Chain A
């Protein structure tokens, strides 16, 4: 008996297009290529959406991203207007504005600052914080309240390891680069700002004020000694 064999149909050739579409302007393409260099991991999925007013780049399946990486992207060009981190989708969105596009004016309703201060103090009273560190922690908690006012309340833990507070912020749906910059600007004590997509946490370290002062004294003493030598 003859056996019939079935042959699979020929698989169509998969054509890979290298480079970005020519519908995107050369300057924008250069910016996108520079951004791509900040994410060398081959596991990331990258997509570009060419809209009338802007080009939206999405980096998906991210594991972690640091504030320093986002800062490098932001300073690449003045056309990079928005950088958003979306926790649930594990992606980073970069918006590149096209030429001659007017940015619409946004009028935001400011939250009640007194109410936020009261909430921050109430929260900090329950935490075990040294008196000397209370001010910087209060500023951080106030900023987190402002970021989430009217939306989903974030979850916060503060743990002290030696002379450094480890902050972990959860339940954040979207974080923008501007918000992270505001956090960084609060004080030099804040460092190592990271977003972990696996645990969906924003983490950063805050050095204790006394330790910061001590370290500065040591640095000053070393520089004075060098001058004497």
Chain B
């Protein structure tokens, strides 16, 4: 059923283009989370928040919930300029509901220089744990664990 022609019951003006860009930004950051049991995760837009500027996403097919990934998602949206990010776990539907709120007084702020810094530093969140562990072992005993070219 095509619901695109239906009117949203919200009490604020929706900037569809801006939220479209936010959704693209979120989809680009989905790939690093697709591993292990969560390799089939998908991101869908559920809709806009009714009473304040914001948008709600659902990440479905989540079989493994971890706190580090939840906080990584918060960084993804806050780096883009979100005022607040709420995450809810729906274990019945195996999904994460992400509600992204934007400050109604500061809607123009979409990307800042801090978000660029986030892109450089934030990739640290996506490095798997075994690489950190291997790095520590290599520091402790480089002769044994360093790869010899």
Interface residues in chain A, defined as those with a beta carbon under 8 Å from any beta carbon in chain B: 86, 88-89, 111, 115, 118-119, 122-123, 126, 141, 144-145, 148-157, 168, 170-171, 173, 198-201
B96 CB to nearest chain A CB (Å): 14
Q: Which 6 A-B pairs have the closest CB atoms?
A: A155-B6, A199-B1, A153-B50, A152-B47, A119-B11, A170-B3
Residue of B nearest to A123 (CB): B9
CA distance A34 to B117 in the complex (A): 61
The docked-state distance in angstroms from the alpha carbon of A168 to that of B5 is 12
How many residue pairs bridge A and B at CB < 8 Å?
Answer: 72
Q: A170-B3, A171-B46 are in contact. Are A111 and B9 (CB under 8 A)?
A: no
Q: With the chains together, A151 CA to B90 CA distance in Å? A: 15
Partner of B9, one of A118, A156, A201: A156
- The SS class assigned to the B binding surface is loop
**Chain B minimum-CB-distance residue to A200:** B1
- The residue among A141, A150, A199 with the most chain B CB atoms within 10 A of its own CB is A150
Residue of A nearest to B92 (CB): A89
When the two chains form their complex, are residues A151 and B49 in contact, meaning their CB atoms are under 8 A apart? Answer: yes
One of B5, B56, B93 near A88 (C-beta < 8 A):
B93
Tell whether, in the assembled complex, residue A153 and residue B93 are in contact, meaning their CB atoms are under 8 Å apart: no
Residues of A within 8 A of B120 (CB): none
Say yes or no for B106: interface residue by CB 8 A criterion.
no
Q: Are B49 and A150 in contact (CB under 8 A)?
A: yes
Contacts of B137 in A (CB 8 A): none
Q: Identify which of B1, B5, B10, B92 contacts A153 (C-beta below 8 A).
A: B10
Please pick, from A122, A150, A151, A201, the residue contacting B1 in the complex, using a CB distance under 8 A: A201
Give the docked Cα–Cα distance between A145 and B47 (Å): 14
- Extra inter-chain contacts (17) besides given A123-B7, A157-B7, CB under 8 Å: A89-B92, A111-B51, A119-B9, A122-B11, A145-B50, A151-B49, A151-B50, A153-B8, A153-B47, A153-B48, A154-B8, A154-B50, A155-B6, A155-B9, A173-B46, A199-B1, A201-B1
